[in-house]
Amino acid sequence: MPKVELSTTFAHRDVDSKWYAFWDSIGAFRADPTSGRPPFTMVLPPPNVTGRLHIGHALNQTLPDIIARWRRMKGDDVLWLPGTDHAGIATQNVVEAQLAKEGKSRHDIGREAFEARVWDWARESKGTIIGQMRTLGSSVDWSRERFTLDDDLSRAVRRVFVTLYREGLIYRGKYIVNWCPRCRTALSDLEVVHRETHGKLYHVRYPLVGREGSITVATTRPETMLGDTAVAVHADDERYRDAVGSRLRLPLLGRELPVVADDFVDPEFGTGAVKVTPAHDPNDFEMGKRHDLPQVAVIDEDGRMTEAAGPFAGLDRWKARAAVVQALEREGALEKVEDHRHAVGHCQRCRTVVEPLVSTQWFVKIAPLAEPAIDAVRDKRIRFVPEHWAKTYFEWMTNIHDWCISRQLWWGHRIPAWYCDACDRILVEEETPDRCACGGALRQETDVLDTWFSSGLWPFSTMGWPTPTADLERYYPTTLMITGLDIIFFWVARMIMLGLKFGGDVPFRTVYITSLVRDEHGQKMSKSKGNVVNPLELMDEIGADALRFALTALASPGMDIALSEGRLRGSRQFVNKIWNASRFVLMQLRDDEPRPEVPERPAELAHRWILHRISQLSAEVGDALDTFRFDVAADRLYHFFWHEYADWYIELVKPHVQAEGPARETAVAVLLEVHDRVLRLLHPIIPFVTEEVWQQLPRRPELETGRTPGGQRQTITLATFPTSVPAWLDEGAAADMAAVQAMITAIRTIRAEWGVPRSRPITVILEGASDLARSRFETARDDLTRLAGVAQLEFQDQVARDPETVVRVLGDVRLHVPLAGIVDRRAEAARIEKALAKVVKQQAADAAKLANPKFRARAAADVVAETEARVTGLAQQRQALEELLEELSR
RNA sequence: GGGCGGUUAGCUCAGUGGUAGAGCACCGGCUUUACACGCCGGCUGUCACAGGUUCGAAUCCUGUACCGCCCACCA
């Protein structure tokens, strides 16, 4: 009488949200500083409040969730802290785009109203993100959720800013910066993305003043010539040696420029002479400083030409380029134009071509912060996984420039600096000052900080820093950071620098870098390609468990993930397989039957074998997770569950479980034990279906392990993660089982080859079986009958040859299956020949090895022994096959 | 220009010195009472190329080719 009736497909839509709500309600994911258990901490890379999560987020949440659930089940006090990032420029752009649709700009509604509007959007976006995280099953501690603009996090930002300023590590100054004319803000070097562009190299002739001749310069940006204040050549360049120190006349504007010598100039490139525009090129800016050249800004913050551009004033910079080229041509100053490919900087957020401009901005001095951050990774206080990412990190860290942190935006942390109108003083304070020491009124800086400034503090600002909270004391440094490769520089590097400086220690011990999720052909997902996968839709279709499993199985370290439909389908089918195997187990149970105890050492081979295997598997899965081999953990579980537990164990155990008496009791006990354990092993990866089933398994009181706070219902999410049980390890059972499986498979293969239906019983005669083999197959007699349709099993020392009997060689046993009226001699001979060819080839290879005295002398003893044993076996097989062939061809 | 990764079955990928693997796809057969999102059986490979080390190389070393990613102030 089945205890349960359940659908044959797992109804994730009805089940998943129910369990997340349950876990939430019992506080299963809440960290407990008073627990006395070892702490294990991760902070979630806070998603931007720009909308919804994409498939990359799904991966970056699934992997840490697996770790969090696993460590929790291992008994750690897990804190996985969630939150979101205000994402300054990105979020501001989203809301500006919304306004644009209404025909308005942020200036139309003003700073205050604009900020209010962004707050509304951020709140909505946060709600969406939280919903998605719950759907995915992320086991974060919602009671500690943070947002980078929260009051206490903003206080941390001010504390860090003020401290760095007072130590001279933050400074304000007029330098050349990357400027986005569309966003109308300065950008850091990282926010500029370089793209290969087809451009032109314009050769422009600058006439010498006071004597004959000219110097031709090559430039990709002719419009900037209007701001030239010199021409530079290399000091050793003989072509221009005489010209150094003389003056040139700037075409179009007629200003005079000096010719200077500078080692920066590469005589090999272009004409070997470079126009110098200190106001619009970073190199020229430096060169200008070396030669004390004036800066003439000809492009303004909107990308238009300034008054200094003379007749071109007011033109957009692209129109100005065309106009300048035309004018140069007219004047006869344009010598030639060549095609030229080069990298052009674009704004990361809006793709506008970045304009280098001289502007007053705030900077963080990087060198003093970078040094300890490099050391921390070098001496392994922080470990990168995969390790090779450390190289990338070093590469970047040793070459970075100071960090421009001021942004001319409205959405973000306002820089805590005040300017006095009466004197020149700048006040940098954590709390808003009343007035200047001189009595003058104060104006706060209108700029906000780069969003990554606050993100860099995330591991400790979220725990209450600078207040010395209990959480900070217990959970910092965090144990592990799992994040994407795209933000190693933006975020990881800055967390390390700022964590060491302000957190007093590394922000995390290990940083695991996840790969990019791509489409099934390895293409980057993008809206324009139309290959974007929406994780919410996908989860609705196949369930969160299936998506999680697919991502996990594909998460090979250091490799991008090609997410294919086939994999997703396979993953869904696996979840369904778990569901159906669970249904089977539950259907075997009878009402009010207590869960029996697993005997120390069951007599039945199948039980001993599966206990051996689950024990091995437990160790393997634990090891895999320990080394971040998520793919290995998923693969081992998949293979075990489907191709060992379901395909073999469940099939083998059916008759026992359906019998009566002690055999049934043992079978039910082992079945439940293994099922319980494998569900727990699977739970970190596929939390929902495992909880749904686990809740229905009967439990013995002394095995109750799913501790919950306050003694509520049990939950698998707090049950113990299985480990290897040494008493169950049984290599003998493994060998016996392998032999039985090989026999059953061989017989099934014969049936398939000759089209013998299962309905037709067959006789199997085993020739030459050793005592061991004989006892193995004798014991498995019933299994052979049930799983291979063997009606009669005989053992003989010598079997008379019969052309209507199919013979197969299985190790040292010859397997005879009489199939009168079915066997075709020629087809059979062809099969034997093929098998023989294989054996001959292998035998030859092994024999060659053994014939080599160096092999015997130098190879490991066990390898030699193994080869010898194999070659003996192969010789036997070969002889047997040759005999068969001879008989068949007779 | 510099750095990093990849090249293994039709596709997507495991496999770090000892007889080449998985999933999907494909072929054949199954109304076997957990599952057709299933069961049983099967086919599939110059492990990119060229050298080297080694008794032995997909695996270690050197070089080449191709693909991808990141960084970069040669106008």
Binned at pLDDT 50, 70 and 90, residue A495 comes out as very high
pLDDT of A376 > 50? The answer is yes
Which residues in A559-672 belong to E strands, given as ranges? 561-562
- Residue A705: the pLDDT is 56
- Residue A48: the pLDDT is 93
| Residue linked to tokens 């104060």 | A442
Binned at pLDDT 50, 70 and 90, residue A704 comes out as low
Choose among A566, A479, A467, A457: nearest CA to A519. A566
Spatial distance between the Cα atoms of A517 and A499, rounded to a whole number of angstroms: 29
Choose among A369, A255, A382: nearest CA to A308. A255
Choose among A240, A207, A205: nearest CA to A219. A205
- CA geometry: angle A813, A816, A820, nearest 5 deg: 175
**Mean pLDDT, residues A754-783 taken together:** 90
**What is the DSSP annotation of A128-158?**
HHHHHHHHHT----GGG-EETTSHHHHHHHH
A85 contacts A164 by C-beta, under 8 angstroms: no
- Residue A236: the pLDDT is 87
B18 C1' – A879 CA distance, angstroms? 25
Strand B bases contacted by the protein (CB, 7 Å): 2-6, 11-15, 18-19, 22-25, 28-30, 32, 34-42, 54-56, 68-75
B61 C1' – A771 CA distance, angstroms? 50
Choose among A604, A626, A736: nearest CA to A684. A626
B12 C1' – A522 CA distance, angstroms? 9
Choose among A267, A257, A268: nearest CA to A228. A257
Spatial distance between the Cα atoms of A191 and A180, rounded to a whole number of angstroms: 10
Closest protein residue to B15 using CA and C1' atoms? A632
Closest protein residue to B37 using CA and C1' atoms? A573
With CA of A843 and C1' of each nucleotide, the nearest comes out as: B19
User: What is the Cβ-side half-sphere exposure of residue A248, based on CA atoms within 13 angstroms?
Assistant: 32
Q: Which residues of A54-93 are buried (b: 16+ CB within 10 A; e: fewer)?
A: bbbbbbbbbbbbbbbbbbbbbebbbbbbbbbbbbbbbbbb
DSSP-derived pairing of the beta strands A214-219 and A247-249: unpaired
With CA of A756 and C1' of each nucleotide, the nearest comes out as: B29
What are φ and ψ of residue A466, in 5° steps? -85, 0
B20 C1' – A56 CA distance, angstroms? 33
B43 C1' – A604 CA distance, angstroms? 36
Closest protein residue to B4 using CA and C1' atoms? A392
- Residue A702: the pLDDT is 47
Tokens of A820: 């009168």
With CA of A752 and C1' of each nucleotide, the nearest comes out as: B41
With CA of A356 and C1' of each nucleotide, the nearest comes out as: B73
With CA of A846 and C1' of each nucleotide, the nearest comes out as: B19
With CA of A387 and C1' of each nucleotide, the nearest comes out as: B4
Closest protein residue to B32 using CA and C1' atoms? A758
pLDDT of A699 > 80? The answer is no
With CA of A654 and C1' of each nucleotide, the nearest comes out as: B34
With CA of A564 and C1' of each nucleotide, the nearest comes out as: B12
* Most trustworthy range by pLDDT among A97-101, A701-705, A876-880: A97-101
With CA of A753 and C1' of each nucleotide, the nearest comes out as: B41
- What are the tens digits of pLDDT across the range A520-571? 777 788 777 777 888 999 999 999 999 999 999 998 887 888 888 888 999 9
- Residue A5: the pLDDT is 54
B61 C1' – A859 CA distance, angstroms? 21
Spatial distance between the Cα atoms of A431 and A802, rounded to a whole number of angstroms: 100
Q: A406 Cβ partners below 8 Å, 6+ apart?
A: A186, A361, A362, A415, A445, A447, A448, A449, A450
**What burial class does residue A160 get, using C-beta atoms within 10 Å of its C-beta: 0-12 exposed, 13-18 middle, 19+ buried?**
buried
Closest protein residue to B28 using CA and C1' atoms? A752
% helix, strand, coil for chain A, step of 5: 50, 20, 35
Angle in degrees, 0-180, between the axes of helices A825-851 and A861-889, rounded to the nearest 10: 150
B65 C1' – A195 CA distance, angstroms? 26
**Mean pLDDT, residues A613-624 taken together:** 94
Helix (H, G, I), strand (E, B) or coil at A375: helix
Tokens of A459: 């591991």
B44 C1' – A866 CA distance, angstroms? 29
Closest protein residue to B19 using CA and C1' atoms? A842
- Residue A633: the pLDDT is 94
A545 contacts A59 by C-beta, under 8 angstroms: no
Binned at pLDDT 50, 70 and 90, residue A713 comes out as low
B9 C1' – A848 CA distance, angstroms? 28
**Mean pLDDT, residues A643-653 taken together:** 94
B36 C1' – A574 CA distance, angstroms? 14
The average confidence (pLDDT) of chain A is 90
With CA of A389 and C1' of each nucleotide, the nearest comes out as: B4
- Residue A701: the pLDDT is 53
- What are the tens digits of pLDDT across the range A807-848? 988 888 889 999 888 888 888 888 888 888 888 888 888 888
Spatial distance between the Cα atoms of A279 and A232, rounded to a whole number of angstroms: 15
A498 contacts A372 by C-beta, under 8 angstroms: no
B62 C1' – A849 CA distance, angstroms? 28
Closest protein residue to B73 using CA and C1' atoms? A283
pLDDT of A632 > 90? The answer is yes
| CA–CA distances in Å: residue A666 to residues A671, A673, A726 | 8, 10, 20
With CA of A342 and C1' of each nucleotide, the nearest comes out as: B74
B15 C1' – A827 CA distance, angstroms? 36
- What are the tens digits of pLDDT across the range A194-250? 988 888 899 999 999 888 888 999 999 999 999 999 999 998 888 888 888 889 999
Closest protein residue to B67 using CA and C1' atoms? A522
B17 C1' – A636 CA distance, angstroms? 24
Closest protein residue to B71 using CA and C1' atoms? A396
B74 C1' – A355 CA distance, angstroms? 18
With CA of A232 and C1' of each nucleotide, the nearest comes out as: B75
Tokens of A675: 């099922």
B19 C1' – A811 CA distance, angstroms? 15
Q: How far is CA A95 from the centre of its chain?
A: 29
- Residue A599: the pLDDT is 87
Choose among A53, A10, A11: nearest CA to A535. A53
Closest protein residue to B35 using CA and C1' atoms? A580
Torsion of CA A322, A328, A333, A338, to 10 degrees: 10
- Residue A269: the pLDDT is 85
Q: A718 Cβ partners below 8 Å, 6+ apart?
A: A28, A72, A73, A705, A706, A707, A708
Binned at pLDDT 50, 70 and 90, residue A1 comes out as very low
**Mean pLDDT, residues A617-627 taken together:** 93
**Mean pLDDT, residues A176-195 taken together:** 92
B20 C1' – A682 CA distance, angstroms? 29
- Percent of chain A past pLDDT 90, that is, above it, reads 64
Spatial distance between the Cα atoms of A293 and A275, rounded to a whole number of angstroms: 12
pLDDT of A711 > 70? The answer is no
Cis peptide before A602 (omega within 30 of 0): no
A645 contacts A674 by C-beta, under 8 angstroms: yes
B1 C1' – A56 CA distance, angstroms? 32
Closest protein residue to B18 using CA and C1' atoms? A863
Q: Which residues of A3-29 are buried (b: 16+ CB within 10 A; e: fewer)?
A: eeebeeebebeebbeebbebbeebbbb
Spatial distance between the Cα atoms of A723 and A626, rounded to a whole number of angstroms: 13
- What are the tens digits of pLDDT across the range A31-45? 999 988 999 999 999
Spatial distance between the Cα atoms of A479 and A71, rounded to a whole number of angstroms: 11
- Residue A4: the pLDDT is 47
B61 C1' – A523 CA distance, angstroms? 33
- Residue A883: the pLDDT is 87
With CA of A277 and C1' of each nucleotide, the nearest comes out as: B75
With CA of A8 and C1' of each nucleotide, the nearest comes out as: B35
pLDDT of A310 > 60? The answer is yes
Tokens of A511: 């940083």
A194-198, A328-332, A362-366: least confidently modelled range: A194-198
B67 C1' – A192 CA distance, angstroms? 26
B52 C1' – A633 CA distance, angstroms? 37
B75 C1' – A339 CA distance, angstroms? 14
- Percent of chain A past pLDDT 70, that is, above it, reads 98
Assessment of whether the complete model's pTM goes beyond 0.90 = yes
Q: A640 Cβ partners below 8 Å, 6+ apart?
A: A613, A614, A617, A678
- Residue A708: the pLDDT is 55
Q: Which residues of A755-784 are buried (b: 16+ CB within 10 A; e: fewer)?
A: ebeeeeebebbbbbbeeebeebbeebeebb
With CA of A569 and C1' of each nucleotide, the nearest comes out as: B37
Query: The dihedral of CA A690, A692, A696, A702: what is its sign?
Result: positive
With CA of A274 and C1' of each nucleotide, the nearest comes out as: B75
pLDDT of A401 > 70? The answer is yes
**What burial class does residue A414 get, using C-beta atoms within 10 Å of its C-beta: 0-12 exposed, 13-18 middle, 19+ buried?**
middle
Please name every residue paired with A426 in a beta bridge, in sequence order, or none if there are none.
A419
